[in-house]
């Protein structure tokens, strides 16, 4: 089946797009850009070689997801592969991530919250 479209990016709502882009830039090593000068509430990070793009947009009255509860569901989350969960965790905590109290499979993946409450995971890269 031929694709209908190609995914351009994933955008995350937040109260401060610059600050959240800087957090994810520290994790990925990607450079933050403002591709639309007339939209200062929008910041992007693009992977240098594989076309993956994360975007961050300011939302007034932002309310963080409350995972695993459903009153304010997460709706999506990001997974990042790492060769060593403990080393990855130490680096994440150093840049401002918070380890979530719920950890269903801590030997294969771990759940964290970014500075504005979006859940995301570190996943152990398999050989």
Position 100 scores a pLDDT of 95
pLDDT of 20 reads 96
State the greatest distance between any 2 C-alpha atoms of the chain, in Å, as a whole number: 45
Task: Name the domain count of the chain.
Answer: 2
Q: Give, as one character, the DSSP assignment of residue 29.
A: -
125 occurs within a structural domain: yes
Short-list 80, 83, 78, CA closest to 125: 83
Which pLDDT score is estimated for 73? Answer: 73
Identify whether 24 is part of a domain. yes
Same-domain check for residues 80 and 125: yes
Whether residues 54 and 85 share a domain: the answer is no
* CA atoms within 13 A of residue 3's CA, in its CB half-sphere: 3
Q: Are residues 54 and 74 in the same domain?
A: no
> Is 64 contained in some domain?
no
DSSP 56-92: EEE-TT-----TT-SSS-----EEEEES-HHHHHHHH
Q: Write out residues in the chain with pLDDT < 50, as ranges.
A: none
Name the average pLDDT for the chain.
Answer: 88
Quick: pLDDT tens for 6-34: 777 898 999 999 999 999 999 999 999 88
Give the model's pLDDT for residue 70. Answer: 78
Q: What is the pLDDT of residue 5?
A: 54
Q: What is the pLDDT of residue 64?
A: 87
Query: Residue 124 maps to which CATH number?
Result: 3.10.180.10
């Amino acid at each position: 089946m031929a694709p209908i479209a190609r995914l351009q990016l994933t955008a995350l709502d937040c109260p401060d797009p610059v600050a959240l882009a800087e957090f994810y830039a520290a994790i990925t090593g990607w450079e933050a850009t403002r591709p639309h000068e007339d939209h200062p509430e929008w910041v992007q990070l693009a992977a240098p070689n594989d076309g993956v793009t994360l975007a961050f947009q300011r939302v007034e009255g932002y309310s963080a997801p409350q995972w695993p509860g459903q009153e304010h569901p997460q709706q999506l989350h990001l997974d990042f592969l790492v060769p060593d969960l403990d080393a990855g965790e130490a680096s994440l905590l150093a840049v401002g991530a918070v380890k979530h109290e719920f950890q269903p499979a801590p030997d294969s993946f771990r759940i964290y919250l970014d500075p504005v409450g979006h859940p995301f995971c570190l996943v152990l890269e398999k050989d």
